[in-house]
């Protein structure tokens, strides 16, 4: 307590005492000892009131012991059971859970992980993918302010995510891998990686690149074969030895018919090979009849052009050519869609021809757009011309119903620069993104689509979309979210397909470990999104005629169903409404491939490197007792005594108020009882 506060309290006590003495002792008619009781009561009441006015603050310290946290993370992927280590995992957990000394020393928290992290309720070893790096990053973030060593029970075989060897810098905790598996080296052939485009064009050759690998010391001969059904379409003899442990095989195959075509790559196994699953790999190619050619017309160089070209061409079905207005006018019949980037005076003939031929367009405006020309060249929208610019951020219209839009975090995307003023639509338009200024969402369109007289158009009011693609990468370490969004917009604009009441979004084929997710949107008769519909999907396997029906759940503005884990094969499906005769059909194929069964050994070297770099230590499953002993003897994990300082103002002390009230009441009662009032 400060000296100044103590001085005030002293003055308050003296003042209260003088007031009480003045009233009951100075010139008082009371002769009995009753006056001393009244003096005391009046002193307590006045002093208490003055204390409340001064309101001193009192400090108290509470001491407690904080034990370090021991994080136990268990790999729940299929590779653990495939390597016959599931019994060892249960033995490790039993040793940890039964150690009373460990429980006394640490707060033990147990988790499992596959593609994501979960609480350790039970272990099934059925996760189809494992992401070690993501699990460690999450624990590093959660326990960044604590002492929390991590026991990582895994075989070290990661199938998803970034390399975990370098994740220790973001964890900042000692990591103790318990290695599931042995260090015995077996001779093994494997297909390490297969690179092929998802799409090919009819009658064209498409490239296939296969990376083969050999683990062993003896010289061996094998043969690489590629099968299409029962037909062998490629074969090559390969030799390996202790010096040559890998070979890249490149070839081309011909796309002879339209549709999804599946192939099987086989590396003929050795006679004594232990793991033959990783000798084969399936892949698929969707053969299409033609490519969508898109003209990106601009009279200036800008980063937006490169970003749009990269984004659109991420789908091999589409090709983008960047042209100036004169070059496009000479080749106007070569393209199915035209993107007009900030049209100016040089676009006059181009705009006239587009209007005459009724072509689909995607118009992107910006600071140099000639709005007089653009307003007069079409009859779909009209921009108020102010000759001033403004930065607008985007807000997603979750009721947009023309095609399925992924729920991207547009609020986090940088602003676009555009003309300040109102955009008036002269025909019905659907808004995808609204303009947001200083965090306030307006009713003005930033991105809209228009369907009128058998043509489709889109208007983006803003320059700087390249920043959106960059932000997408910063958020997710991938361009795919933004590219998918632009891809759906381009697909809509380049297609003459009419609107339906159920839109479905899916891929034509999925690899064995892909997430099989199908999305749908349902609209009422006025084409308004209905968030109370009851939709279901009927899935039929064309090979065994098995049928299953699953409901679709509303999630982020779309109805979705997760079919991950279904067995490989071809499927037909129908998405239908429960009470209306409205449905949508589709088909896809799941290729057989289990990435978790591609491993023969634990990745010992990588786990040891992770342990050493994080100031931990690696152990094999048989050395669990040594790990426990090491943790108990490590002085870094001592219990720490901490204190909590509480500062409480006197005005919060309710008992003082009660004491004042009681003193005043007692004083009044005594005076009343003795006839002094």
Q: Domain containing 270 — which CATH number?
A: 2.60.40.10
Predicted local confidence at residue 166, as pLDDT:
83
List pLDDT tens digits, range 382-407. 999 988 989 999 999 887 877 878 76
Taken in order 473, 477, 478, 481, is the CA torsion positive or negative? negative
The verdict on 172 and 207 lying in the same domain is no
Helix (H) or strand (E) holding 260: strand 259-267
Q: How many CB atoms lie within 10 A of CB 653?
A: 14
Predicted local confidence at residue 217, as pLDDT:
84
d(CA 10, CA 17): 11
d(CA 614, CA 176): 9
526 pLDDT above the threshold of 70: no
Cβ-count burial 251-274 (b if 16+ within 10 Å, e if not):
eebebeeeebbbbbbbbbbbeebe
List of E strands, 344-428: 361-365, 381-383, 389-396, 416-419, 423-425
The verdict on 619 and 556 lying in the same domain is no
CA distances, 490 to each of 208, 437, 486, 641, 676 (Å): 28, 27, 6, 62, 96
Taken in order 175, 176, 181, 183, is the CA torsion positive or negative? positive
Domains of the chain: total: 5
d(CA 155, CA 80): 7
The verdict on 80 and 171 lying in the same domain is yes
Predicted local confidence at residue 30, as pLDDT:
66
CA distances, 35 to each of 13, 29, 38, 39, 42 (Å): 19, 9, 5, 6, 10
547 pLDDT above the threshold of 90: yes
Helix (H) or strand (E) holding 101: helix 100-105
The verdict on 542 and 405 lying in the same domain is no
Predicted local confidence at residue 27, as pLDDT:
62
The verdict on 342 and 489 lying in the same domain is yes
Find out whether 402 and 492 touch, Cβ atoms under 8 Å.
Answer: yes
Predicted local confidence at residue 452, as pLDDT:
85
Q: How confident is the model at residue 101 (pLDDT cuts 50, 70, 90)?
A: very high
Rounded to 5°, the CA angle 468-473-477 comes to: 165
The verdict on 353 and 453 lying in the same domain is yes
Domain of residue 324 covers 292-493
What mean pLDDT is predicted for residues 285-298?
Answer: 88
d(CA 509, CA 526): 33
What mean pLDDT is predicted for residues 641-651?
Answer: 77
CB-count exposure of residue 570 (10 Å: 0-12, 13-18, 19+): middle
Domain boundary among the residues 595, 628, 656 is at 595
Domain boundary among the residues 451, 473, 493 is at 493
Q: How confident is the model at residue 80 (pLDDT cuts 50, 70, 90)?
A: confident
Domain boundary among the residues 272, 288, 304 is at 288
The verdict on 308 and 162 lying in the same domain is no
The verdict on 259 and 391 lying in the same domain is no
By DSSP bridging, strand 440-452 and strand 455-461 are antiparallel
Predicted local confidence at residue 596, as pLDDT:
66
The verdict on 380 and 322 lying in the same domain is yes
664 pLDDT above the threshold of 80: yes
Predicted local confidence at residue 28, as pLDDT:
65
Q: How confident is the model at residue 320 (pLDDT cuts 50, 70, 90)?
A: very high
498 pLDDT above the threshold of 70: no
Predicted local confidence at residue 614, as pLDDT:
92
Output the average pLDDT for the chain: 88
The verdict on 98 and 47 lying in the same domain is no
The verdict on 340 and 443 lying in the same domain is yes
Q: How confident is the model at residue 411 (pLDDT cuts 50, 70, 90)?
A: confident
d(CA 341, CA 672): 94
CATH number for position 115: 3.40.50.410
CATH number for position 391: 3.40.50
List pLDDT tens digits, range 451-468. 888 889 999 999 999 999
d(CA 360, CA 677): 98
The verdict on 27 and 119 lying in the same domain is no
Q: Name the range with the highest mean pLDDT among 82-86, 289-293, 418-422, 537-541.
A: 537-541
Find out whether 76 and 113 touch, Cβ atoms under 8 Å.
Answer: yes
CB-count exposure of residue 332 (10 Å: 0-12, 13-18, 19+): middle
525 pLDDT above the threshold of 80: no
641 pLDDT above the threshold of 70: yes
């Amino acid at each position: 307590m400060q000296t100044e506060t103590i001085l005030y309290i002293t003055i308050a006590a003296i003042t209260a005492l003088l007031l009480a003495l003045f009233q009951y002792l100075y010139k008082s008619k009371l002769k009995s000892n009753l006056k001393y009781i009244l003096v005391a009561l009046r002193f307590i009441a006045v002093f208490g009131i003055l204390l409340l006015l001064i309101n001193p603050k009192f400090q108290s310290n509470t001491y407690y012991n904080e034990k370090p946290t021991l994080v136990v993370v268990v790999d729940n992927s299929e590779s653990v059971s495939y390597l016959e280590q599931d019994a060892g995992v249960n033995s490790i957990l039993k040793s940890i859970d039964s150690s009373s000394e460990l429980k006394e020393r640490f707060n033990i928290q147990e988790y499992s992980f596959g593609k994501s992290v979960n609480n350790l309720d039970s272990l099934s070893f059925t996760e189809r993918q494992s992401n070690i790096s993501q699990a460690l990053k999450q624990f590093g973030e959660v326990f960044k302010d604590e002492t929390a060593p991590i026991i990582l029970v895994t075989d070290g075989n990661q199938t998803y995510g970034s390399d975990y060897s370098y994740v220790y810098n973001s964890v900042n905790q000692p990591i103790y891998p318990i290695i599931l598996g042995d260090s015995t080296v077996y001779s093994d052939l494997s297909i390490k990686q297969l690179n092929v485009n998802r799409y090919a064009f009819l009658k064209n050759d498409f490239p296939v690149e296969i990376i083969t690998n050999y683990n062993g010391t003896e010289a061996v001969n094998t043969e690489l074969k590629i099968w299409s059904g029962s037909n062998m379409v490629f074969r090559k003899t390969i030799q390996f030895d202790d010096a040559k442990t890998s070979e890249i095989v490149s070839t081309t195959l011909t796309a002879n018919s339209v549709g999804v075509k599946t192939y099987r790559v086989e590396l003929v196994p050795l006679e004594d090979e232990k793991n033959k699953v990783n000798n084969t790999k399936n892949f698929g190619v969707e053969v299409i009849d033609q490519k969508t050619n898109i003209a990106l017309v601009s009279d200036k160089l800008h980063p937006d052009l490169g970003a749009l070209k990269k984004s659109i061409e991420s789908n091999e079905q589409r090709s983008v050519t960047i042209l100036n207005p004169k070059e496009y006018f000479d080749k106007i019949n070569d393209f199915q869609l035209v993107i007009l980037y900030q049209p100016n005076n040089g676009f006059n003939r181009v705009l006239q021809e587009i209007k005459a031929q009724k072509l689909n367009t995607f118009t992107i405006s910006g600071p140099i757009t000639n709005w007089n020309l653009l307003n007069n060249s079409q009859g779909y929208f009209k921009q108020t011309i102010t000759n001033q610019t403004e930065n607008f951020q985007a807000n997603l219209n979750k009721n947009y119903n023309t095609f399925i839009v992924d729920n991207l975090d547009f609020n986090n995307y940088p602003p676009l620069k555009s003309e300040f003023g109102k955009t008036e639509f002269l025909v019905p338009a659907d808004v995808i993104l609204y303009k947001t200024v200083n965090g306030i969402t307006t009713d003005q369109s930033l991105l809209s689509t228009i369907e009128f007289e058998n043509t489709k158009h889109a208007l983006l009011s803003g320059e700087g979309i390249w920043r959106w693609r960059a932000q997408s990468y910063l958020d997710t370490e991938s361009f795919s979210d933004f590219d998918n969004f632009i891809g759906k917009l381009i697909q809509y604009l380049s297609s003459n397909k009419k609107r339906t009441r159920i839109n479905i979004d899916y891929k034509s084929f999925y690899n064995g470990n892909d997430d099989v997710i199908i999305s749908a949107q349902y609209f009422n008769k006025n084409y308004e999104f209905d968030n109370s519909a009851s939709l279901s999907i009927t899935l039929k396997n064309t090979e065994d005629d098995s049928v299953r029906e699953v409901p679709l759940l509303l999630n982020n503005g779309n109805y979705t169903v997760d079919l991950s884990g279904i067995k490989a094969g071809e499927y037909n499906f129908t998405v239908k409404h429960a009470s209306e005769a409205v449905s949508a059909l589709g088909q896809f194929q799941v290729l057989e491939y289990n990435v978790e069964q591609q491993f023969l050994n634990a990745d010992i070297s990588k786990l040891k490197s992770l342990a050493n770099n994080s100031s931990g230590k690696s152990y094999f499953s048989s050395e669990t007792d040594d790990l426990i002993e090491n943790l108990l003897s490590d002085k870094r994990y001592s219990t720490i005594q901490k204190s909590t300082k509480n500062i409480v103002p006197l005005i919060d002390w309710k008992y003082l108020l009660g004491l004042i009230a009681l003193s005043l009441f007692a004083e009044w009662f005594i005076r009343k009882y003795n006839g002094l009032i």
